Amino acid sequence: MNRIIIHVLALVAATAVLGQELKSPPPAPYGPIPTSRQLQWHEMEYYGFVHFTVNTFTDKEWGYGDESEKVFNPTDFDADQIARTAKAGGMKGLILTCKHHDGFCLWPSKYTEHSVKNSPWKNGRGDMVREMSEACRKQGLKFGVYLSPWDRNRADYGTPAYITYYRNQLRELLTQYGEVFTVWLDGANGGDGFYGGARETRKIDNRTYYDWTNTWSIVRELMPMACMFSDVGPDFRWVGNERGIAGETCWATINVGEAVAGNAKSINLNQGERPGANWLPPECDVSIRPGWFYHATEDNQVKTPAQLLDIYYQSVGRGAALNLNLPPDRRGRIHENDVRSLKEFRRLLDATFAKDLAKGAKLTASNVRGSGAKSFAAANVLDHDRNTYWATDDGVTTPELILEFKKPVRFNIISLREFLPLGQRVEAFAVDVWQSGGWQEFARGTSIGNLRLVRAKFVTTDKVRLRITQAPVCPAIAEFGLFAEPEMLEAPEITRDRKGLISISASSPANAIRYTLDGTEPGLKSPLFASPIDLPQGGVVKARQFSAQQSKGAVATRTFGVSKAGWKIVSKNNDRILRSNPVNAIDDNPNSVWRCRFDGDGQTSFKVIDINLGQTMSLTGFTYQPPADGQADGIVDKYEFYVSADGVNWGAPAAAGEFSNIKANPIQQFVALPKPVTCRFIRFVPVHLVAGDQVAVAELGVTIK
Ligand code: FUL
């Protein structure tokens, strides 16, 4: 009897809810909407890359494809340490470079000999893809695969046979290693390579050669919930740079049109497009170090926790996903410096987002859909559930929501999320705070999408107002939060002037700066910075601020080559130098750029930049820094480097080669000479440019023994 009553009551309740829902159905979706696999991917927000291959042992960013399998020999590979580091850093998954452009496979593929099976690692019996996938699962991380389409090792690259090879490998990866959350399909292709000994340049038509539609269908068949990356999807897109930064306005939608991977110039990858025909949200990929692969020379250039936070706010905080690369070193472990930085980054994130100050606020919405229907109530924005949302009646596109607090709250971050199954709806919003009896604008923005974090100056208030200021349809807001970052002193700025003197500047004169020159972290016992430091041989400078209360700030690190104080440009070919001053190339200021005419391929004897170093030195390497203005024009990607005792006799190049991946990642390039050379003059010869007809040099430098 009782059971019947309960059933009847349940039925009555259900009908009431249904009745209310029928009166106020959910808003109709707007524009393109995400698939269920994209929704799953959106929830990840932050995961990592693991770049590991022969490059780790040859100190390259792009292997040529002719590397012997014998060079691949990690001395202490530890998949668990890598996965643990990622987990401790807050990541939700890891994507391994199972095969990079050099073609070397980290698993014993049955389709090639160019793999771990012919390496000394575990006497050829190891399988790194297996170890990494298992270590990820142990840590509760999802596992993803990077399988480079460009293969500089294969003799058949460029022919249909290679496509069959590629697809066979993809099948191996998707059938032998359990669940895969992402398949990362890179668009890079620099043309030349080993190609089974042909050593030539092979141009493929990236619109047709790979026949992507049929490769994608393999992924859909074998791993239906895996999301695929390329410049243009099909599931998520590249953000257009390798700095990890999405546009301030960043739409999940875009018009793919005719664009293909490696050929997506026609569309705005960084900001997306609105209106856009495709739901294709961005992933921000960036390395924790300057390069994608481990180089010991970059041990002091690991991004600081503060830099990682800036990236987080400009990627995850703009609706994109963050894919942060952790490159294992030659042991096969994540280096201590990277572990330390990542851990502190995670601590700062947790300290910020563990407590939502909006919780408990009294809410007043200017409108709630269906005369206040519970399923669309404003309270849904505070429940930390991305599947419930506040929505307004159709036609109410610019509503307001007021949060009132019993006790004032102090915060500097707001967070907003839309209910993605209904599409990206909001085009602009603002947040006001109640100050001295009136509303004052605290922040404003455009796109929201998966997440929008606005980081501003701290404010204390007892009333906050969210205003949706532009939307073509009624909004559907899943979350609204208020957070406070732990206060942290910024890293000081370290600069070196033309005379070679190093200065360190504090953000406030009340703070003390302490520094080290031996690569260790500055502490309270480290020397105080009082006057410019002379560092003629170059080296590593680390510095941080201490407040009057002795609380310590973020560490700044800069690595300097030999001081350029006594250097002179002695190129005779001034007729070829365009208006900018050649000194810009040796003034230690990467923001000033020397541009001069370039005569193109084959003109390798053309002296572009000759420099008198002012004294005889024993050089171990040189550096070339391209401009960081985001323009490909003028960036050198093939070079020759000469040395001379007298500036007259030069001989054969001391080094020649490519600056690989410099187009997508225009960072300072370091070239180690095969053996140290004694000289007083150096000559840098650009042999090929990424684009344009003017060479651009932000800085040239040298390293010595
Ligand atoms: C690029 C590649 O060329 C780089 O080497 C790196 O793998 C990066 C993530 O993608 O396109």
CA separation, residue 141 to residues 10, 87, 181, 348 (Å): 40, 7, 10, 21
Per-residue pLDDT tens digits for 484-507 = 999 888 899 999 887 889 999 998
- Reference 702, options 692, 690, 677; nearest CA is 677
Find out whether 555 and 519 touch, Cβ atoms under 8 Å.
no
- Residues touching ligand 1 (Cβ under 6 Å) are 61-62, 186, 188, 285, 292, 661, 664
151, 239, 242, best to mutate for ligand 1 pocket (most atoms within 8 Å of CB): 242
- Reference 112, options 104, 102, 122, 120; nearest CA is 104
Q: How far apart are CA 215 and CA 213, in angstroms?
A: 6
Atom of ligand 1 at shortest distance to CA of 287? 9
Report the separation in Å between the CA atom of 65 and the middle of ligand 1, taken as the mean of its atom positions. 15
- Reference 292, options 114, 130, 96; nearest CA is 96
Report the separation in Å between the CA atom of 142 and the middle of ligand 1, taken as the mean of its atom positions. 21
- Reference 237, options 224, 225, 252, 248; nearest CA is 252
Q: Over 133-148, what HEC string results?
A: HHHHHHCCCEEEEEEC
From-to residues of CATH 2.60.40.10 in the chain: 493-560
Atom of ligand 1 at shortest distance to CA of 100? 7
CA separation, residue 465 to residues 369, 460, 475, 624, 656 (Å): 19, 13, 16, 50, 60
What residue owns the CA closest to ligand 1's atom 6?
Answer: 292
Residue 596 one-letter amino acid: C
CATH 2.60.120.260 corresponds to the domain 362-483: yes
Q: How far apart are CA 274 and CA 214, in angstroms?
A: 29
pLDDT at 202: 95
Report the separation in Å between the CA atom of 215 and the middle of ligand 1, taken as the mean of its atom positions. 20
3 state DSSP class of 677: strand
Collect the ranges in the chain with pLDDT lower than 50: 1, 8, 10-17, 602-606
What residue owns the CA closest to ligand 1's atom 4?
Answer: 661
Report the separation in Å between the CA atom of 643 and the middle of ligand 1, taken as the mean of its atom positions. 32
Report the separation in Å between the CA atom of 184 and the middle of ligand 1, taken as the mean of its atom positions. 10
Atom of ligand 1 at shortest distance to CA of 49? 9
What's the half-sphere exposure (Cβ side, CA atoms, 13 Å) at 618? 3
Report the separation in Å between the CA atom of 396 and the middle of ligand 1, taken as the mean of its atom positions. 45
The dotted CATH code for 36-246+283-334 is 3.20.20.80
- Number of Cβ atoms within 10 Å of the Cβ of 693: 11
Share of the chain residues as helix, strand and coil, in percent rounded to the nearest 5: 20, 30, 45
Report the separation in Å between the CA atom of 333 and the middle of ligand 1, taken as the mean of its atom positions. 20
- CA 263 centroid distance within chain: 20
Q: How far apart are CA 588 and CA 494, in angstroms?
A: 12
- Beta strands (DSSP E) in 246-300 are 253-254, 278-279, 282-287
In total, the chain counts a number of residues equal to: 705
Report the separation in Å between the CA atom of 151 and the middle of ligand 1, taken as the mean of its atom positions. 13
661, 662, 669, 690, best to mutate for ligand 1 pocket (most atoms within 8 Å of CB): 661
Report the separation in Å between the CA atom of 270 and the middle of ligand 1, taken as the mean of its atom positions. 17
- How is domain 568-704 classified at the CATH fold level? Jelly Rolls (2.60.120)
- Reference 36, options 393, 531, 499, 387; nearest CA is 387
Report the separation in Å between the CA atom of 450 and the middle of ligand 1, taken as the mean of its atom positions. 25
Residue 434's contacts (CB-CB under 8 Å, 6 or more residues apart) are 440, 461, 462, 463, 464, 465
Architecture of domain 493-560 in this structure: Sandwich (2.60)
Atom of ligand 1 at shortest distance to CA of 292? 6
Atom of ligand 1 at shortest distance to CA of 51? 7
pLDDT at 579: 59
Q: How far apart are CA 629 and CA 691, in angstroms?
A: 14
Report the separation in Å between the CA atom of 488 and the middle of ligand 1, taken as the mean of its atom positions. 33
- Beta strands (DSSP E) in 259-306 are 278-279, 282-287
- Reference 351, options 251, 160, 485; nearest CA is 485
pLDDT at 13: 47
DSSP β-ladder status, 282-287 and 321-325 = parallel
The structure tokens 């599409």 sit at 423
Atom of ligand 1 at shortest distance to CA of 97? 7
From-to residues of CATH 3.20.20.80 in the chain: 36-246+283-334
Find out whether 70 and 119 touch, Cβ atoms under 8 Å.
yes
Two structure tokens written together for 640: 């020759």
Q: How far apart are CA 156 and CA 248, in angstroms?
A: 43
What residue owns the CA closest to ligand 1's atom 11?
Answer: 188
Report the separation in Å between the CA atom of 673 and the middle of ligand 1, taken as the mean of its atom positions. 24
User: What is the DSSP code (8-state) at residue 301?
Assistant: G
96, 186, 284, 658, best to mutate for ligand 1 pocket (most atoms within 8 Å of CB): 186
pLDDT at 573: 57
DSSP β-ladder status, 46-50 and 321-325 = parallel
Q: What is the full DSSP assignment across 417-459?
A: EE-GGG-----EEEEEEEETTEEEEEEEES--TT-EEEEEEEE
Find out whether 179 and 50 touch, Cβ atoms under 8 Å.
no
Report the separation in Å between the CA atom of 304 and the middle of ligand 1, taken as the mean of its atom positions. 22
Backbone angles phi, psi at 422, to 5 degrees: -100, 10
pLDDT at 5: 53
Report the separation in Å between the CA atom of 284 and the middle of ligand 1, taken as the mean of its atom positions. 12
What residue owns the CA closest to ligand 1's atom 10?
Answer: 186
3 state DSSP class of 89: coil
pTM: 0.93
| Side-by-side strand order, sheet with 182-184 | 227-229, 182-184, 142-147, 93-99, 46-50, 321-325, 282-287, 237-238
From-to residues of CATH 2.60.120.260 in the chain: 362-483, 568-704
What residue owns the CA closest to ligand 1's atom 2?
Answer: 188
What residue owns the CA closest to ligand 1's atom 8?
Answer: 292
292, 658, 659, 662, best to mutate for ligand 1 pocket (most atoms within 8 Å of CB): 292
Report the separation in Å between the CA atom of 146 and the middle of ligand 1, taken as the mean of its atom positions. 10
Report the separation in Å between the CA atom of 264 and the middle of ligand 1, taken as the mean of its atom positions. 16
pLDDT at 107: 99
Report the separation in Å between the CA atom of 88 and the middle of ligand 1, taken as the mean of its atom positions. 25
Backbone angles phi, psi at 528, to 5 degrees: -80, 140
